[in-house]
């Protein structure tokens, strides 16, 4: 939703709730055009409340300068306790593309996974046609997901112009901190056993650029009108050994006949 349509009421836009309440539950909260983070310690609320915690929280200074609030329950008094911190959150360091887009300005159209969604192209992207086009956004919802986005951002930098992957359209930021990436949406289908030769050739080209994909399941290949495209570079490795590259190619046949759905949580597809 565009920032202009937002009110000052806090909205949870991401959450990671521990079902057993044995670990911290984390929330990414939007208020206006700012994003703040909540950490609720085990034993603070029951499971149902953890799913919708905003109404049960003590008053929080949402309009003040802080990034993370920690909420717990005093074991002696039973009262809720809150502490806030204005520490700088970790972000993606590999900033190589000229386009920088505020993630809150994207108009979401379809959720793909907890950390990936389709959106309409942002008007400030010069590489996108003026008419709205569907793009793919991938984000780090929380700090511990930053390394995943960092690896993928670096992979797209090294693959720029190779034709092996969807086009990288820009970096996504939140409060100025880079925490995601924007990709073109490529229409295609997952690979199958009949595509083995083409997929092997694509992986060998990737290896020729010094990259090990790290997860060559069938859903990470798109069979498109332009040939094979690789996606999901979250486990990519630079300067991998020749032996690990050979094993990756050798594993392709078994991966392409795997119908278990493993790795199929995020994919581009035709709408027909």
What mean pLDDT is reported for the chain? 90
Q: How far is CA 104 from CA 23, 113, 180, 195, in A?
A: 28, 17, 12, 39
Q: Please check whether residue 58 is in contact with residue 82, taking contact to mean a CB–CB distance below 8 angstroms.
A: yes
The pLDDT value recorded for residue 260 is: 62
Which of helix, strand or coil describes residue 50?
helix
Q: Please check whether residue 263 is in contact with residue 215, taking contact to mean a CB–CB distance below 8 angstroms.
A: yes
Report phi then psi at 260, rounded to 5: -75, -15
Residue 3 has pLDDT above 70, yes or no: no
Mean pLDDT of 139-168: 97
Q: Please report which helix (H) or strand (E) contains residue 27, including its range.
A: strand 25-31
Label residue 62 by pLDDT band (50, 70, 90).
confident
Q: Which two tokens stand for residue 167?
A: 């086009």
Q: How far is CA 179 from CA 5, 47, 264, in A?
A: 23, 29, 23
Residue 6 has pLDDT above 90, yes or no: no
pLDDT digits (tens, 9 = 90+) for 201-214: 999 999 999 999 99
CATH numbers and ranges of domains, the chain = 3-85 (no CATH), 100-184 (3.30.200.20), 189-256 (1.10.510.10)
pLDDT digits (tens, 9 = 90+) for 46-57: 999 999 999 999
The pLDDT value recorded for residue 263 is: 55
Residue 4 has pLDDT above 60, yes or no: no
Label residue 2 by pLDDT band (50, 70, 90).
very low
Q: Please report which helix (H) or strand (E) contains residue 150, including its range.
A: helix 146-159
Q: Give the whole-angstrom CA distance, residue 141 versus residue 179.
A: 8
Residue 5 has pLDDT above 80, yes or no: no
pLDDT digits (tens, 9 = 90+) for 69-84: 999 999 999 999 999 9
């Amino acid at each position: 939703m565009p920032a202009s349509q937002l009110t000052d009421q806090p909205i949870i836009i991401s959450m990671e709730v521990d079902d057993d309440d044995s670990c911290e539950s984390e929330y990414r909260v939007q208020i206006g055009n700012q994003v703040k983070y909540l950490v609720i310690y085990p034993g603070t609320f029951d499971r149902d409340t953890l799913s919708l915690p905003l109404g049960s929280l003590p008053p929080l200074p949402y309009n003040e300068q802080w990034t993370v609030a920690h909420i717990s329950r005093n074991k002696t008094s039973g009262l809720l306790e809150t502490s806030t911190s204005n520490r700088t959150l970790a972000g993606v360091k590999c900033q190589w593309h000229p386009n920088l887009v505020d993630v809150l300005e994207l108009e979401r159209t379809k959720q793909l996974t907890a950390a990936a969604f389709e959106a309409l192209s942002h008007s400030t992207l010069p590489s996108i046609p003026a008419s709205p086009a569907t793009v793919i956004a991938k984000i780090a919802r929380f700090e511990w997901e930053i390394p995943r986005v960092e690896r993928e951002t670096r992979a797209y930098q090294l693959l720029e112009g190779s034709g092996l992957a969807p086009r990288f359209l820009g970096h996504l930021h939140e409060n100025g901190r880079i925490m995601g990436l924007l990709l073109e949406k490529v229409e295609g289908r997952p690979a199958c056993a009949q595509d083995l030769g083409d997929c092997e050739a694509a992986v060998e080209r990737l290896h020729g650029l010094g990259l090990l994909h790290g997860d060559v399941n069938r859903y990470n290949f798109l069979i498109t009108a332009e040939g094979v495209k690789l996606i999901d570079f979250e486990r990519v490795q630079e300067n991998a050994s020749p032996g690990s590259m050979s094993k990756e190619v050798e594993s392709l046949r078994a991966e392409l006949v795997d119908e278990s759905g493993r790795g199929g949580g995020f994919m581009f597809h035709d709408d027909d």
